[in-house]
Amino acid sequence: MKRLNYIISGLLSISISLSSCDEFLNVEPSDARTIQYFYTNPKEAQQALMGVYNGLLPISSYYLMLSDVRSDDVWTGMPDDNEQNYMAFNAFRKQISQISTLEAAWTDYYEIIARANVLLEKIESLAFNEKIEGFSVKESFIAEARFLRAFAYFDLIRFFGRVPAVTSSQTVDEAMKTPQSEAKDIYENIIIPDLEYAINHMGDIAYGYNGNESASGRATKPAAQALLGRVYWTMAGFPLWDNSKKAPAMELLETVIDNANAGNKYWAKDSKEWKKIWVSDNDNKYHIFEIQYAMQSGYGNPMIFSSLPKVSSSLSHVTMSGNKINSSKSLRNLYRENSGEIRFLPTIRKGESYFEKLFENITKRDTLGFSKIDDQIVDRNSFPINYPLIRLEDVMLMYADLTGPTDKGVEMVNKIRTRAGLKELSASQKTAEAFNNCVLDERRRELAGEGIRWHDIVRSGNFTEYIKAAYILEGNEGISAAGNIQEGMYVYPIPDKQLLVNDGLYTQNEAYK
Classify residue 319: in a domain, yes or no: no
Other Cβ atoms less than 10 A from the Cβ of 218: the count is 24
Q: What percent of the chain has pLDDT over 70?
A: 74
Q: Is residue 243 scored above 80 in pLDDT? A: yes
In Å, how far are 103, 484, 494 from 95, measured between CA atoms?
Answer: 13, 11, 11
> pTM of the full predicted structure?
0.84
323 pairs with which residues across the strands? 320
3-state secondary structure 31-53: CHHHHHHCCCCHHHHHHHHHHHH
> What does the pLDDT look like over 296-352, one tens digit per residue?
666 656 654 444 333 343 444 444 444 467 889 999 999 887 655 554 444 444 444
Task: Answer yes or no: do 5 and 33 share one domain.
Answer: yes
The enclosing H or E element of 225 equals: helix 221-235
Classify residue 226: in a domain, yes or no: no
Other Cβ atoms less than 10 A from the Cβ of 276: the count is 13
Greatest alpha-carbon pair distance for the chain in Å reads 67
Classify residue 428: in a domain, yes or no: yes
> Residue 491: left if φ>0, alpha if ψ -120 to 50, beta else—which one?
beta
Classify residue 322: in a domain, yes or no: no
How buried is residue 297: exposed, middle or buried, by Cβ count under 10 Å (0-12/13-18/19+)?
exposed
DSSP class per residue in 76-103: --PPPTT--SHHHHHTT-GGGGG-HHHH
Task: Answer yes or no: do 410 and 384 share one domain.
Answer: yes
Helix axes 453-460, 432-446, angle to 10 degrees: 160
235-244, 397-406, 495-504, range with the lowest pLDDT: 495-504
Task: Answer yes or no: do 279 and 142 share one domain.
Answer: no
Compute, in degrees rounded to 10, the torsion defined by CA atoms 38, 40, 46, 47: -20
Our CA angle for 366, 372, 378, nearest 5°, is 110
The larger pLDDT score, comparing residue 175 to residue 371, is at: 175
Task: Kindly report whether the peptide bond that precedes residue 248 is cis, defined as omega within 30 degrees of 0.
Answer: no
Classify residue 139: in a domain, yes or no: yes
> What does the pLDDT look like over 174-198, one tens digit per residue?
888 899 999 999 999 999 999 999 9
Classify residue 15: in a domain, yes or no: yes
18-22, 59-63, 254-258, 394-398, range with the lowest pLDDT: 18-22
Determine the pLDDT at residue 14.
29
The number of folded domains in the chain is 2
Alpha helices by DSSP H, listed for 135-191, are: 137-160, 172-175, 183-186
Query: What CATH number is attached to the domain comprising 269?
Result: 1.25.40.390
Determine the pLDDT at residue 353.
38
In Å, how far are 343, 354, 356 from 348, measured between CA atoms?
Answer: 11, 13, 19
Determine the pLDDT at residue 379.
57
Classify residue 107: in a domain, yes or no: yes
In Å, how far are 54, 67, 129, 151 from 158, measured between CA atoms?
Answer: 22, 10, 39, 11
User: Do 384 and 293 form a contact (C-beta atoms < 8 A)?
Assistant: yes
301 pairs with which residues across the strands? 383
Other Cβ atoms less than 10 A from the Cβ of 56: the count is 23
58-72, 192-206, 442-456, range with the lowest pLDDT: 58-72
Residue 254, C-beta contacts closer than 8 angstroms, at least 6 positions apart: 399, 408
Task: Answer yes or no: do 115 and 58 share one domain.
Answer: yes
Of 136, 107, 112, the closest CA to residue 49 belongs to 112
Task: Answer yes or no: do 187 and 295 share one domain.
Answer: no
> What does the pLDDT look like over 408-458, one tens digit per residue?
999 999 999 999 888 999 999 999 999 999 999 999 999 998 999 999 999
Of 145, 62, 159, the closest CA to residue 108 belongs to 62
Task: Answer yes or no: do 288 and 170 share one domain.
Answer: no
Domain that holds residue 429: 236-302+376-461
Task: Answer yes or no: do 140 and 205 share one domain.
Answer: yes
Helix %, strand %, coil % of the chain (to 5): 55, 5, 40
| pLDDT grade for 364, boundaries at 50, 70 and 90 | very low
Determine the pLDDT at residue 306.
47
Task: Answer yes or no: do 269 and 156 share one domain.
Answer: no
| pLDDT grade for 282, boundaries at 50, 70 and 90 | low
Task: Answer yes or no: do 405 and 457 share one domain.
Answer: yes
| pLDDT grade for 6, boundaries at 50, 70 and 90 | very low
User: Do 55 and 296 form a contact (C-beta atoms < 8 A)?
Assistant: no
Classify residue 488: in a domain, yes or no: no
The whole-angstrom separation of Cα 328 and Cα 475 is 12
Task: Answer yes or no: do 151 and 56 share one domain.
Answer: yes
The whole-angstrom separation of Cα 437 and Cα 259 is 27
| pLDDT grade for 387, boundaries at 50, 70 and 90 | confident
Query: What CATH number is attached to the domain comprising 189?
Result: 1.25.40.890
Task: Answer yes or no: do 94 and 154 share one domain.
Answer: yes
Our CA angle for 280, 271, 260, nearest 5°, is 70
User: Do 128 and 209 form a contact (C-beta atoms < 8 A)?
Assistant: yes
The larger pLDDT score, comparing residue 399 to residue 342, is at: 399
Task: Answer yes or no: do 4 and 44 share one domain.
Answer: yes
The whole-angstrom separation of Cα 512 and Cα 330 is 27
Q: Helix, strand, or coil here: 128? A: coil
The larger pLDDT score, comparing residue 502 to residue 496, is at: 496
The whole-angstrom separation of Cα 338 and Cα 455 is 24
Average pLDDT, the chain: 81
As a whole number, mean pLDDT of residues 160-167 equals 97
The larger pLDDT score, comparing residue 93 to residue 33, is at: 93
3-state secondary structure 322-368: CEEEEECHHHHHHHHCCCCCCCCCCCCCCCCCHHHHCCCCEECCCCC
Residue 259, C-beta contacts closer than 8 angstroms, at least 6 positions apart: 222, 265
